[in-house]
Amino acid sequence: QVQLVESGGGLVQAGGSLRLSCAASGRFFWSYTMGWFRQGPGKEREFVAAVTENSATTYYADSVKGRFTISRDNAKNTVYLQMNSLKPEDTAVYYCAATGRFRTTAPEGFNSWGQGTQVTVSS
């Protein structure tokens, strides 16, 4: 498995931007599909975005399409989530996740998780 550490969260006003980073340790980072999920207060964890191992394909939740961009740098073992035009409803703990066998964007399809980073968007 791969170990994941997120960073880049914080407090931002509505309409602002943040870039989250997820640093991975362990071997074969390049072979994992990487995802971002979030969990807001009183809500279930939900899918945000994913990128396949060679960056050939990206997936986004409808709620973030056109505002968020996922990318990865396999040379740095890092995946990013650029978040623009943030809304108060984007407030959540954001988690990075990895899977070696991508089948679904549901959380149960990912088996390595980071500790999460808080993103708070004020109105």
Contact 80, 62 (CB under 8 A): no
pLDDT digits (tens, 9 = 90+) for 90-116: 999 999 999 999 999 999 999 999 999
Distance of CA 29 to the CA centre of its chain: 15
pLDDT digits (tens, 9 = 90+) for 31-80: 999 999 999 999 999 999 999 998 889 999 999 999 999 999 999 999 99
Buried b (16+ CB within 10 A) or exposed e, 94-117: bbbbbbeebeebebebbebbbebb
User: What is the enclosing helix (H) or strand (E) of 82?
Assistant: strand 78-83
Confidence band for 122, pLDDT divided at 50, 70 and 90: very high
- Integer-rounded Cα Rg, in Å, for the chain is 13
How far is it, in rounded angstroms, from Cα 20 to Cα 84?
Answer: 11
How far is it, in rounded angstroms, from Cα 107 to Cα 118?
Answer: 18
